[in-house]
Structure 1
Amino acid sequence: MKNLFRAVLFAVLAALSWLPPAAQAAMSEWAESEGGRMRLVAISQPRNDAILALLQIEPKPGWKTYWRDPGDAGMPPQLDFTGSINLVLRSVSFPVPEIGNDDGGRFVGYHQPVSLIVEFAKPLPDAPSTINLNAIVGICEKVCLPFMTNFSMPLKPGQPEGEEFMQLQLAQSALPEKPGKDFEIRNLHFSADSKMIEAEITLPGAEAPQVAIVAPPGLRLGKVEIDAGMDKIAHIRIPVISDKAQAERTITMLVKSGGRAIEATLALK
């Protein structure tokens, strides 16, 4: 059903590409690099008390870009929205990445076009606002080339947003699921000697999971160890290499299994 939904969205987007330029008022020009291109797309009208935008990154064929944690090499996107006017960053959501191995070792990221969903609060609902973004994105082939650019996009309520809205719907359909009873991460904690982080994952089927994690600054972790039993429960262990984290410790964990994916940010106990 999800694939059918995406197919319908692609068809609608193809039709919208023939609309006159006014329908693209909340899209920046493409910024180009040797390995790909990126642009900013925004919805000017608040939805559920939030302003939503997309950073669309398109690697060229044979190139790749990265998730929140890139794996053994590469760099995650570094996005600075602090210069934005009348907008406060709430979150950046990533679509489900590939998890595998390539010439650089373990790889977590994307070989295809990817849209990051950015959510802002708008403190003054009736005042003008502008998205200002300084972006550094890793786009790599044999070597990594940091792709640096900036965008400034005034938001103009009342402008047509047909294509922007459909782009947002398509990006939301590519996000991981929220954990549920049949697929969830449980009991994330330090081991008694604090040398390991441990957790249990309830799986939707018999397929062993793939796991990607993002640790807080100062907490350096080793390779994830997975023990997937026959009861749809996987036990994971992550070696703690060093722990100098100063703030509250949370782990963002993405789990893929059985053609599905979940993501959650959990407090370490």
Structure 2
Amino acid sequence: MTRFRTALAALVPLLLLPPAALAAASAWVATPGGDVRLVALPADASGRVRAMLDIRLHDGWKTYWRDPGGAGIPPALTATGARLEAVRFPVPKRLGDAELHYVGYDAPVALPLTLTDVSGPVTLSVFLGVCKEICIPVQAELGVDPRQEAFANPLEETAIAAAEAKLPPAAAEDLAPLSGRWSADGKTLTVRFRAPEGGGPPEVYVSGPDDIQFGPAGAARRDGEAYVADVPVLYRPKAFDAAAGPVLLAVRIGTRTMEAPLAIE
């Protein structure tokens, strides 16, 4: 089972795009639905490189979150010349209609990255789905060389800091995951979380290791001092291996967001 087999049947042929020139920021690579580039800063004292994948969507186009549901294509990123330690995502939106809904972004978005063990020029291989009336899988090779820059470009540093500022913070006292529980048939994960009242209905998004796929969550309901939401499980191996990675709960309520690991009972 692949996480995006449902979407592939409707996709037009792949766009294979050439690598951009090596620099601290790659050139924009143009696609029909949006443009992409890689931006990287010089390594810090520990050897880590702050970077971002910049996705400049065109009007009306959309792209997907890391777990978009059964009708979407999750981004796939791999790096050569460095280790891609982390890819982080802002809290997404629920998109589509009642019959075909998915989770993603309908405006330009930047995904902050962390690179380590930089051994030479870095190439980021990117596979994204971008959709309007049709969905187009886009593949691009984006090249940078953080070693060529002794000092950070202020514009690039500001852009990466702005992308990082849009990431959801960790749990707070009044906005935090409480627990998750699989249904007896394994087809639903019921999540409980704490959130303040008065900010409107919470939006709930759940993601896990690559071998688990969730659908868009149902509406959150109040249960005592907590909120509860049921999340469809589209695919899960028979045995849940917690060591494979955490299940993450992301919540938006009003202007606030949060993302944190969910303890599974």
The TM-score by the shorter chain falls in which range? 0.7 to 0.9
Cross-structure match for 2:127: 136
Give the superposition deviation at 1:104.
6.5
Q: State the secondary structure of the residue aligned to 1:164.
A: helix
Cross-structure match for 2:207: 214
Give the root-mean-square deviation of aligned CA atoms.
2.7
Give the superposition deviation at 1:205.
2.1
Cross-structure match for 1:70: 68
Cross-structure match for 1:186: 178
Amino acid at match of 2:203: Q
Give the superposition deviation at 1:58.
0.9
Residues 25 and 160 in structure 1, CA contact (< 8 A), matched pair in contact too? no
Cα distance 1:63–1:193, how it changes in 2: closer, same or farther (>3 A)? Answer: closer
Would you say how many aligned residue pairs link Structure 1 and Structure 2?
Answer: 239
Q: Are 1:158 and 2:154 counterparts?
A: no
Q: State the secondary structure of the residue aligned to 1:46.
A: coil
* In structure 2, distance between residues paired with 1:113 and 1:91: 20
* In structure 2, distance between residues paired with 1:78 and 1:44: 24
Cross-structure match for 2:191: 199
* In structure 2, distance between residues paired with 1:47 and 1:252: 30
The C-alpha deviation readout for 1:213-257, integer Å capped at 9, x for no partner, is 223344454553445227552112334455325662432221111
Q: Are 1:89 and 2:84 counterparts?
A: yes
- Identity among equivalent pairs (%): 29
Select which of 36, 53, 56 maps to 2:54.
56
Cross-structure match for 2:254: 258
Q: Identify which range, 135-144 or 233-242, moves more after superposition.
A: 233-242
Cross-structure match for 1:244: 237
Cross-structure match for 2:115: 120
* In structure 2, distance between residues paired with 1:195 and 1:70: 17
Cα distance 1:243–1:66, how it changes in 2: closer, same or farther (>3 A)? Answer: closer
Cross-structure match for 2:16: none
Residues 25 and 159 in structure 1, CA contact (< 8 A), matched pair in contact too? no
Give the superposition deviation at 1:71.
3.5
Cross-structure match for 1:108: 103
| Structure having the larger proportion of residues in strand | 1
* In structure 2, distance between residues paired with 1:218 and 1:43: 32
Cα distance 1:107–1:223, how it changes in 2: closer, same or farther (>3 A)? Answer: closer
Residues 38 and 56 in structure 1, CA contact (< 8 A), matched pair in contact too? yes
* In structure 2, distance between residues paired with 1:97 and 1:243: 22
Residues 178 and 262 in structure 1, CA contact (< 8 A), matched pair in contact too? yes
Q: Normalization by structure 1: what TM-score?
A: 0.78
Select which of 76, 79, 83 maps to 2:77.
79
Cross-structure match for 2:159: 167
Q: Normalization by structure 2: what TM-score?
A: 0.79
* In structure 1, distance between residues paired with 2:235 and 2:26: 42
Greater relative CO, 1 or 2 (CA 8 Å, sep 6+): 2
Residues 190 and 229 in structure 2, CA contact (< 8 A), matched pair in contact too? yes
Cα distance 1:192–1:109, how it changes in 2: closer, same or farther (>3 A)? Answer: closer
Give the superposition deviation at 1:204.
2.1
Give the superposition deviation at 1:47.
6.4
* In structure 2, distance between residues paired with 1:151 and 1:259: 33
Amino acid at match of 2:85: R
Q: Are 1:146 and 2:141 counterparts?
A: no
Residues 206 and 248 in structure 2, CA contact (< 8 A), matched pair in contact too? yes
The C-alpha deviation readout for 1:12-65, integer Å capped at 9, x for no partner, is xxxxxxxxxxxx951111111111110010001326652111110111111111
* In structure 1, distance between residues paired with 2:49 and 2:99: 37
